[in-house]
Amino acid sequence: MNRIGHVCKEIFRNLYRNPGTSLSAVLSMTLLLLLFDIFWIAADTSDKFYEDYLSDLQMEIFISEDYPDSSITIIKDEIKKIDAISSLVFISKESARNELTDLVGIDLLVGYDSSNPLPQSFILTFQNDFINSTDLTEIENRILSQKGVSNVYYSKNWLAKAESTKNIIADIGLFLGILILLTVLVSSANNMRLTAKTRAIGFSQMRLLGAGKLLLAMPFIIEGVFMGALSAGIGWGIIFYWKEKIQFTSFEIVFPTLEEIGFYCLAAGILGLISGYVGIRRALRL
């Protein structure tokens, strides 16, 4: 048996000799990573919901009464120069009146037949990347500085609150993510340490016979990688099994792509690698 054969045999020996420890390690990692997966899906879904909702956000730009109609194109051209805009619609006094009539009926507008008090306006929509407080405030200020613009309106307060909520969710997600990953790391490292402890005499003898650290650590590191990736894979397997059975009609649940899941399993494998090494490190002293 060569050294590679020895390492391979050791991996299976670990699993065979300590099936309880290995199973509990995989189960606890699966559970924790599953929690992380669920939070990931929830965060992506709420992000999508938030973005869909925000994509409807509009900005209204009101033109001063005394601004000449012939110069409105100057304002329009200036607004068009803003990169963030995805659509620009001009609402004339007449169109505004018609829209208001549609909304409130004709009775309330009696007496305003000859004089229309409604201002002319533009309605803007934006590309998703620019729908945030910072960019919209900047756009608002730029438009307000235009001659002939009397007022700019959009759901400024609502946007600030939505952003604040989104940031809180992101902070909780980050905290939860770090907590779960740390728990996975500590828990699996501890499992490895327990396994290594049961074989302390063997390690000591192998070190005395001149075994290198890498040779002793490699089976644990590979086992860690395998367990990490397997736990992550099982977690997603469970989720995709239930995905087929649960359907929501009111909103779309956003799942990560297969590529993202692949990277995630790889990351879990790396986490397992670290925990495998951390678990065995003490047993490798000379």
Partner 1 sequence: MSDKTIIELSNVYLKTDRGHEVFKDLNLKLLSGESAIIYGAAGSGKSTLIELLVGRRFADAGSVELFGSLMQKNKKRIIKSVRRKTGGIGGLFTLVPSYTVSENITLPLVLSGERKKVQKERLMKMLTEFSLLKQASVYPDKLTRVENTLVQFARANVAHQPLILIDEPLAGLDLKTYDRIYEYMSKLAVSGLSLVIVSSEELKNKLPNTSSYHLINGSLA
Number of residues that bind partner 1 (CB under 8 A): 20
Tokens of 148: 């002939």
| Residue 20 lies near partner 1 (rule: CB under 8 A) | no
Angstrom distance (rounded) from CA 51 to CA 134: 16
Q: Check residue 286 for interaction with partner 1 (CB under 8 A).
A: yes
Task: Please name which of 192, 273, 181 lies closest in space to residue 229, comparing C-alpha atoms.
Answer: 273
- Identity of residue 170: A
Rule CB under 8 A: is residue 193 a binding residue for partner 1? no
Which H helix or E strand runs over 151?
strand 149-153
Residue 219's CB is within 10 A of a number of other CB atoms, namely: 22
Rule CB under 8 A: choose which of 126, 136, 192, 199 binds partner 1.
199
DSSP letter for each residue of 234-279: HHHHHHHHHHTT---SSSPPPPPPHHHHHHHHHHHHHHHHHHHHHH
105 touches partner 1 by CB under 8 A: no
Evaluated on CA atoms 81, 138, 136, 44, the torsion sign reads: positive
The interface region with partner 1, picked from 43-51, 77-85, 197-205, 224-232 by CB under 8 A, is 197-205
Site string for partner 1, 141-180 (x = CB under 8 A): ----------------------------------------
Instruction: Report the residue number, 2 or 70, with the smaller CB distance to partner 1.
Output: 2
Instruction: Tell me which stretch binds partner 1 (CB under 8 A): 85-93, 102-110, 182-190, 195-203.
Output: 195-203
Q: Which is nearer to partner 1, 17 or 161 (CB)?
A: 17
Q: Please give the Cα distance from 12 to 284 (Å, whole number).
A: 20
* Six token digits for residue 62: 């009101």
Q: Which of 169, 206, 234, 266 contacts partner 1 by CB under 8 A?
A: 206
Residues forming the site for partner 1 (CB under 8 A): 1-3, 5-6, 13, 17, 199, 201-202, 205-212, 215, 286
